[in-house]
Amino acid sequence: MSFKIAIDGPSSSGKSTLAKMIAKNLGFVYIDTGAMYRAMGYYFLKNNLDLNDIEIVNNNVNNVDVELNYVDGVLQVLLNGEDISGVIRKEEVGSAGSIISTYKLVRERLVSLQQKMASVCDVVMDGRDIGTVVLPDANVKIYLNADCHERAVRRHKELLEKGIDKSLEEVETDLKERDYRDMNRENSPLRKANDAIEIDSTNMEIEEVVEMVLSIVKEKRGDK
C-alpha cells in the first residue's frame, strides 16, 4: 500500500513549498492539484471560451487532457500534450483555475485523475479537497493556514521577485476573493477534514513547518 500525505489550505499558505520539501525529503512524488485546475482554466482562456457559462464548460471538459510529468525533478504541466508549465503561474490563470474549479464535472474529471496518480506510488498531494474528497484515507492530513494579511505579504513578495508590480492592497483583495470562492462553492469547498492536523504558519518559518510535518509522518510510519 502506498503512503499518502494530504495537504490542504487557502491560497498562498505555503502548501506547495511545504509539499515539495516533504516529498524531496521522503523520496515521495509531489502532486500539485492546483496546477491541474490552472491548466483546465487556461484551456478556456486560450480558446476564448466563457468560463462563467456552465453549458460551455460542461461541453468542453472532456476535450481537456491534463498531465503532470517530472523532468529532472522539475514539474512539467501538459495541456493536450503542450507544455504550459510557465504560463499557468500567471495571476489571471490562477483566477481562471479558481472559477473553473467550482464546476462539478471539472472536479469529477480531475479528482479521478488525481486518485489514479496516488494509487501507484507514495505521494504528497496539495490542494483544497485532498483530505476531504480526493484522498479521504490519506495516512497523514495537514491543514496549513496563515493569517490573510501575512499570506498577502508573502504573495506580494513573490510577485515582486518575478518582476510583477501589484500593490499589497490589490494582492490582499484578490486573495480574499479567491478564499471566498474556494470556501463557499457548492462542490467540494475548502475545509479542514475532521482528522486533519491544523498548522498555523503565520509566525513560523517554512523549515519549522517542514520539521513539524516530518515528525508527524515519522510517528505515523512508526520510524525510529
Report if residue 9 touches ligand DC, rule: CB under 6 A: no
Q: For ligand DC, which is the closer residue by CB, 38 or 156?
A: 38
- Distance (Å, whole) CA 141 – CA 4: 9
- Distance (Å, whole) CA 36 – CA 114: 9
Q: For ligand DC, which is the closer residue by CB, 100 or 213?
A: 100
Select from 18-26, 51-59, 95-103, 198-206 the region that touches ligand DC (CB under 6 A): 95-103
Binders in 118-137 for ligand DC, by CB under 6 A? 127-130
Nearest distance from C-beta of residue 59 to ligand DC, angstroms: 21
How many CA atoms does the CB half-sphere of 165 hold within 13 Å? Answer: 0
Q: Which of 13, 101, 132, 145 binds ligand DC (CB under 6 A)?
A: 101
- Distance (Å, whole) CA 163 – CA 139: 39
Residues 6+ apart with CB under 8 A from 218: none
Q: Which of 9, 39, 178, 217 binds ligand DC (CB under 6 A)?
A: 178
Q: For ligand DC, which is the closer residue by CB, 58 or 215?
A: 58
Q: How does DSSP classify residue 50?
A: -
